Chain A
Amino acid sequence: MDIYEFTKQIEGEFEDVEPGTLTPTTNYREIKSWSSMYALIVIAFVDANFDVQLSADDLRNSQTIEDIYKIVMSKKTS
């Protein structure tokens, strides 16, 4: 899954985001409906698709969707 597909899939996890709104450089915390519940949803999505676990620190240290993607990729290969 490349970064664009990843972004599209993450976008699909949000209830009230119009398709095509998010880009890899979107700060996901600034998505209007972002809440701690979405942190769990993103963790579930990453676990299901990559068998990788995002920690609370991983999320704390990331701002954009691309940041998350990079963490997932580095964990996937390590």
Chain B
Amino acid sequence: MALLSINNVSIRGIASCVPKSKIFTKDYPYFSESELDLFVKSVGITERRVAPAEVSTSDLCFHAAEKLIKDLAWNKEDIDCLIFVSQSPDYFLPATAIILQNRLGLSKKTMAFDVGLGCSGYVYGLQLMASLLSSGNIKKGLLLVGDKSTLSTHIEDKSTYPLFGDAGCATAMEYNPNASIMYFNLQSDGSGEDAIKILDGGARNTVRPDTFDIQEIEPGIKRSRRHLSLSGIDIFNFALKEVSANINDLLAYAHVQKEEIDYFVFHQANKLINESVRKKLKVTDLTKVPYSINLFGNTSSASIPLTITCHLKSELKKEKTILFSGFGVGFSWASCVFKSNEIVCSDLIEI
């Protein structure tokens, strides 16, 4: 069971970068008026950011990292580890984290590697980095997360196209013997592998002549085997069943009462799912559950740090008890709870 506690690690800062270009849900040509109203009300997305062809996830993460390093006045030579969590890497190989090590001007003494996770990826990344820093053998780490999900959706697929936005975020973490304990609960269920999937292009199904053929899956849903498919009901049921249970187990393990938590920062999946999770947890104070989905859509692993950038910039300077929960593709889900202290949140970067 991956319930664990990690000592001696602080989150020092968070920065988020999004493309300037906005797409408005009201302009989506494949929604009827009633579908549009229902989508905006239930899913909660009115606009989102879409990166142009020449901008990749690593570009968004690069700008977030540069800004954060500057705002923290960190010396690049001191960064010992760089982890890039994404499902839209620059290439099959080499790993994007290594490319970013060089592009950011980090030392060759930096360890750098990629992690292929989506919506749960921020919490997994925090856990990985925290466990590397905890011993004090290495002192500073940069966790870069995000996705260019809009690359993988087809405009005639109503079940995916209006949902996703692009974003990249950087989180600075540091060895700190005075840090309070970070508690994690990380889970996986590969029986849900088909719920969110891109079928072709990997080593299981390599690209073939019909990979890019657009097929009508059902009315309102057209896509190719290279596009993202998403089963809303399966994901919803997964989230209803697992997310609040995972959080309750974490809180019992950490001996933290729900009432002690100042902010519940959830992955921004869709408002209906998130509100259902909130109600299951019996969190009634809406100010404790910030949202960024309305303006940015579902931004995959970037959604938790992006929500912090948008809403908790000044709050995280103070000591607060914070809970993060990420859940989705895999299925993979994870939560963590910790006391924040003096986290520097950079202003949102738009490129």
A binding-site residues for B, Cβ under 8 Å: 15-16, 33, 35-41, 43-44, 47-48, 53-56, 59
Contact = CB atoms under 8 A, between A and B. Distances in A.
A47 B234 contact: no
Contact of A55 (B34, B237, B275): B237
A39 B233 contact: yes
A56 B43 CA distance: 19
B286 interface: no
B38 A37 contact: yes
Which 10 pairs from chain A and chain B are nearest by CB? A56-B233, A44-B276, A33-B34, A47-B240, A40-B236, A53-B237, A37-B38, A44-B272, A43-B236, A40-B272
Contact of A39 (B41, B232, B280): B232
B44 to A, nearest CB: 12
A56 B241 CA distance: 14
A56 B34 contact: no
Contacts of A37: 35, 38-39, 42-43, 232
A33 B38 contact: yes
Interface residues of B, number: 22
A62 B332 CA distance: 30
Interface in B230-258: 231-234, 236-237, 240-241
Contacts of A44: 236, 240, 272, 275-276
22 contacts: A15-B38, A16-B34, A35-B38, A36-B159, A36-B233, A37-B35, A37-B38, A37-B43, A38-B38, A39-B233, A40-B233, A43-B236, A43-B237, A43-B240, A44-B272, A44-B275, A47-B276, A54-B237, A56-B231, A56-B233, A56-B234, A56-B237
B88 to A, nearest CB: 26
A59 B38 contact: no
